[in-house]
Structure 1
Amino acid sequence: MSTKTRRNIIIIIAVILALLILELIFRPKVVRQAFAEPFYRAKKYPQAENLFRKNSTKNDAPANANLAKCLYRQNRFAEADSAATIALNSAKDKKDILYDRGNIAYKQQDYSKALRDYKEALLLNPEDDDLRANYELTLRKMNKQPPPAVGLQQNKDDKKKEAIRNILEGLDNKESTDRQQLRSKQSLKTDKWW
């Protein structure tokens, strides 16, 4: 290997190291977040909590949401609720945080708050089946029946009616083509002039 090639390799390595050092200096939250996630996945919640807590500020919704999840896993529900509320106040996408806060309220047996959070999250994400199941479970816990899903039931009824209508139209079309084929066969048989 020539000296020129070695020098180029050393320069490339130095640039990469400089970029990593700059990342560590100017974006320590990203680095701490990256270190905290493996702890969380490994269920080492106290270590993950320390790193998430260092990241959490009033305007950092993801850091506070992660802190709330970590505290929830440690059964520290009051602190988790506080962190989730802070995250909710600064979050752009609120549905996941509302879902988590509903779970926290449910564990605290504050079913009316859990119901409010689940309902608000359902309004933001009506297709989430887990969220709907938690909402209905909370209603049952409060000895209430879930409200009839008028819009959903009406949509299901409309879809059923449309499917039946499509089947009937298909059968009508099939019947008319069968009649036309039968007429053409009959006209061939009767059109014999000899």
Structure 2
Amino acid sequence: MKNMKKAQKIVLICFAVILLLLCAELLLRPRASKNSLATLLYNWGKYRSASKIWDPLAEKHDADAIPKGNAAKSRYRQGDYDSAERLLDEALKDGKEQARLHYDRGNAQYRKDDLDQALESYKAAMLADPDDQDAKSNYELVLNRKGYKKPQKEDYQEDEQEQETPQNDYDNTLNALDEQESLDRQRQDHQTQIPRERWW
């Protein structure tokens, strides 16, 4: 019986400590708690409720782009693409450029049928994160919707001069991303090489 009471006391103490830590988290970091609650509501599909929590957090003029990006996603899900784009523009000004914010802005612009701006946003997302396959796919989708198609090899003629066209811009962007990825891999390989010992 003594062991049982001792185990119950330990469990009760652990529970009290956890509860105390949660209360401290709520008191000391209310912003993180609100963000967590809004994320939970967003994941449940309650976008308006999530917006009610994220909007005041997004209105604060600090360098944290996360609440603005989250509020923009919620607005996007509600069909308010203009507001989502505005919030994403603010988020990009506040923080360092983030590929996901550019991608989300491109989605909002695409929904508004602002295809040229959507292309620019997807391009910025790909340049910020060359591994972002979603941005690349959406970039190609917008190009296809605008009527551009990737030229086939037989379409090229060697004696023609290259002209600056949106198709060339498309190819140049994809080639630049491939080169950037190659350079990143080379830098990474170079940094991981073990230095040779000196012979003297």
- Smaller-chain TM-score bracket: 0.5 to 0.7
- Greater share of helix residues, 1 or 2? 1
* Pairing partner for 1:64 from 65, 68, 81: 68
Q: TM-score, normalised by structure 1?
A: 0.67
Cα root mean square deviation, aligned: 2.7
Summarize the Cα distance change of 1:125–1:8 in structure 2 as closer, same or farther, 3 Å threshold: closer
Instruction: Structure 1 unaligned segments of length 5 or more: list them.
Output: 156-194
Residue of 85, 95, 102 corresponding to 1:98? 102
Shift of 1:132: 1.4
Question: 2:87 & 2:17 partners in 1: Cα distance?
Answer: 39
Q: Does 1:137 pair with 2:137?
A: no
Give the count of matched residue pairs: 154
Distance 2:124 2:110 in 1: 15
2:39 partner amino acid: E
Q: Deviations over 1:40-64 (max 9, x none)?
A: 1121111111122232233221111
String of CA shifts for 1:58-104, please: whole Å, max 9, x gaps: 32211111110110011001111111111112233510000000110
Unaligned runs of 5+ in 2: 150-166, 180-200
* Structure-2 residue corresponding to 1:120: 124
Match of 1:34 in 2: 36
1:139-154 superposed matches below 5 A:
139-145=143-149, 146=167, 147-149=170-172, 151=175
Aligned pairs (5 A) from 1:1-194? 5=6, 12-56=14-58, 57-58=60-61, 59-92=63-96, 94-145=98-149, 146=167, 147-149=170-172, 151=175
One-letter amino acid matched to 1:135: Y
Q: What's the % identity of the aligned pairs?
A: 33
Task: Name the counterpart of 1:173.
Answer: none
Cα 1:8/1:80, change in 2 over 3 Å: same
Residue type of the alignment partner of 1:33 = N
Measure the CA separation in 2 of the matches of 1:95 and 1:128: 8
